[in-house]
């Protein structure tokens, strides 16, 4: 029998219980055809899915590719390129059976060797994938036949299915890997046609796509998607209102209420499965001293950031946990985000900095929800003698800099798609490719390794609670808020479903009312 979430309790978060659902009108029958015009915040940062870490790339290419298994809108693992899977009693051997009749966009049939190649490519240090840690416990991936894949682990690994479902850990054709950064080729519902930087990305319908709707009709309904880049949020909202585009991402907090009142528009979304934080590069003095980092945390009022920068609707102030509000694995700290300036000053004095220091804060100018909090932090840290110098860069310049860890402090986010490992191991394990703060702690490393091998949800919960408490003490990041994320669409767009894990897989079922 297929094993789905055998060793994983999904993130049972409030946001998963408050889904907006699909924008479907029962008064209209589904129709096929038409090009969806989507207004995007930013260009992709690289087109090779195994190499990039940019959400902008993921969201624009996840409908070009498929994963071995997938998340549905409730966070449950469901079949994708694999129709069923089983695990051995010791949890070390996983066998996946592939869907028949799947073709890559170049016309070649999907084979198990492509799955093995793709996972091994992410694992290979030469690839320099930021998600190399996702498969570090994978001992081997073999293809005993064209339709079966066997993954052998060196140790039990509870998050395996979640990692396989992450929408950048996609399956690629082995012969096309060298050109993926200029010509993405997948098995998804849309084919990549062109990318013109700062202008558009064009996708067109894959007539050979394997997916079907609940009635057995072939997906996708759309003839294609054209992404246009509108980094200015006002321009993006205006384009939607005037009908220049049909659908937009990242509805700014300032426009949520007015768009909800617009009879021609649907607004979808709610709390998202992510967190935003002040990242502190612990290799930069004096941030190498945990007392200094903790002092910064004691000075920050994250509710004020939500109220002022996000107008009270764009996020939920963090309670000292990496997990979204309502998560089964969250371990809130009731004192978090409530400033204690006396304690902050005392810690700076202990660290030999009674007069404070200068903090260089690098942020992106592209995303308002990451840029505007910088000015609030600047004001909040001033009373304890920390002078904040802000540098703002366009996203395609900013992100490569951050990935090289060329910064002192920054405001950035981390998101998860289905397992607590996404929120803790990826950003905080010493050897993780996603560790951008240079943080290293042997105790936390040990706990995180244990958490990857424990099958029991309650035991994992207790272990991850200790990790979160220690992270608050050592403060490699200061957790600011979990965001709310909204998309908006003209009411001619039907069938789109908002995914709280910030995926746009819901475009697979979208259609245009004529």
pLDDT digits (tens, 9 = 90+) for 182-238: 999 999 999 999 999 999 999 999 999 999 998 999 999 999 999 999 999 999 999
pLDDT at residue number 250 = 92
* CA–CA gap between residue 407 and residue 393 (Å, rounded): 12
Q: What is the DSSP string of 19-74?
A: ---B---TTS------EEEEEESS--S-S-TTT---HHHHHHHTTT---SEEE-TT
Determine how β-strand 409-415 pairs with β-strand 357-364.
Answer: parallel
- Closest listed residue to residue 504, CA positions, set 116, 139, 62, 185: 62
Contact in structure between 174 and 182 (CB atoms under 8 Å): no
Tokens of 270: 């709610």
Determine how β-strand 493-494 pairs with β-strand 190-196.
Answer: unpaired
Tokens of 203: 């996708």
Place of tokens 């402090």: 409
Beta-sheet strands, E only, within 312-447: 315-317, 357-364, 386-393, 409-415
Give the count of beta carbons closer than 10 Å to the beta carbon of residue 335: 12
* CA–CA gap between residue 138 and residue 263 (Å, rounded): 51
* CA–CA gap between residue 419 and residue 10 (Å, rounded): 6
All residues at 6 or more sequence positions from 423 whose CB lies less than 8 Å from its CB, including other chains: 275, 322, 323, 329, 414, 416
Could you tell me the sign of the dihedral formed by the alpha carbons of 245, 249, 251, 252, in that order? Answer: negative
- Closest listed residue to residue 176, CA positions, set 122, 104, 125, 81: 104
Contact in structure between 223 and 191 (CB atoms under 8 Å): no
Quick: pLDDT tens for 373-384. Answer: 999 999 999 999
SS3 430: coil
**What's this model's pTM, rounded to 2 decimal places?**
0.80
Angle made by CA atoms 4, 129, 371, in degrees to the nearest 5 = 95
pLDDT at residue number 11 = 55
Q: How far is CA 171 from CA 10, 98, 209, 212, 316, in A?
A: 23, 12, 14, 19, 35
Tokens of 402: 């951050």
* CA–CA gap between residue 339 and residue 351 (Å, rounded): 19
* CA–CA gap between residue 287 and residue 234 (Å, rounded): 37
Regions of the chain with pLDDT less than 70: 1-28, 417
């Amino acid at each position: 029998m297929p094993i789905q979430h055998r060793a994983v309790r999904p993130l049972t978060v409030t946001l998963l219980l408050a889904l907006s659902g699909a924008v479907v009108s029962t008064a209209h029958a589904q129709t096929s055809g038409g090009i969806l015009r989507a207004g995007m915040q930013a260009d992709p940062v690289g087109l090779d899915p195994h190499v990039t870490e940019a959400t902008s790339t993921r969201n624009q290419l996840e409908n070009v590719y498929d994963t071995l298994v997938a998340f549905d809108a409730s966070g449950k693992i469901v079949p994708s390129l694999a129709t069923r899977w089983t695990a051995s009693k010791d949890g070390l051997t996983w066998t996946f059976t592939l869907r028949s009749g799947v073709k890559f966009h170049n016309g070649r049939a999907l084979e198990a060797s492509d799955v093995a190649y793709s996972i091994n490519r992410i694992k290979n240090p030469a690839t320099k994938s930021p998600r190399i840690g996702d498969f570090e416990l994978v001992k081997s991936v073999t293809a005993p036949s064209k339709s079966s894949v066997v993954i052998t682990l060196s140790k039990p690994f509870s998050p395996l299915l979640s990692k396989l479902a992450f929408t950048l850990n996609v399956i690629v054709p082995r012969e096309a890997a060298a050109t993926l950064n200029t010509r993405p080729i997948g098995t998804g519902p849309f084919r990549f046609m062109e990318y013109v930087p700062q202008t558009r990305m064009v996708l067109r319908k894959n007539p050979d796509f394997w997916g079907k709707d609940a009635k057995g009709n072939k997906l996708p309904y759309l003839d294609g998607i054209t992404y246009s880049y509108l980094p200015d949020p006002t321009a993006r909202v205006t384009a939607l209102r005037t009908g220049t585009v049909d659908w937009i991402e990242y509805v700014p907090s300032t426009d949520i209420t007015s768009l909800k009142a617009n009879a021609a528009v649907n607004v979808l979304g709610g709390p998202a499965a992510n967190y935003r934080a002040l990242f502190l590069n612990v290799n930069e003095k004096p941030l190498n001293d945990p007392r200094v980092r903790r002092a910064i945390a004691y000075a920050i009022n994250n509710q004020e950031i939500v109220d002022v920068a996000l107008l009270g609707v764009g996020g939920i102030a963090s309670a000292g946990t990496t997990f979204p509000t309502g998560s089964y694995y969250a371990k809130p700290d009731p004192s978090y985000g409530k400033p204690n300036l006396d304690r902050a000053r005392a810690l700076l004095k202990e660290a030999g900095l009674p007069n404070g220091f200068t903090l260089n804060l690098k942020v992106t100018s592209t995303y308002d929800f990451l840029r505007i909090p910088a000015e609030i932090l600047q004001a909040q840290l001033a009373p304890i003698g920390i002078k904040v110098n802000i540098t703002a860069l366009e996203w395609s310049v900013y992100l490569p800099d951050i990935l090289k860890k060329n910064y002192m402090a920054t405001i950035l986010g981390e998101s998860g798609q289905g397992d607590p490992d996404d929120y803790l191991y990826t950003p905080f394990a010493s050897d993780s490719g996603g560790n951008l703060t240079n943080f290293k702690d042997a105790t936390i490393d040990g706990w995180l390794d244990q958490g990857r091998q424990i099958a029991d949800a309650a035991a994992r919960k207790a272990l991850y609670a200790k990790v979160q408490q220690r992270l608050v003490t050592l403060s490699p990041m200061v957790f600011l808020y979990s965001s709310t994320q909204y998309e908006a669409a003209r009411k001619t767009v039907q069938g789109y479903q908002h995914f709280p894990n910030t995926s746009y897989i819901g475009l697979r079922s979208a259609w245009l009312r004529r």
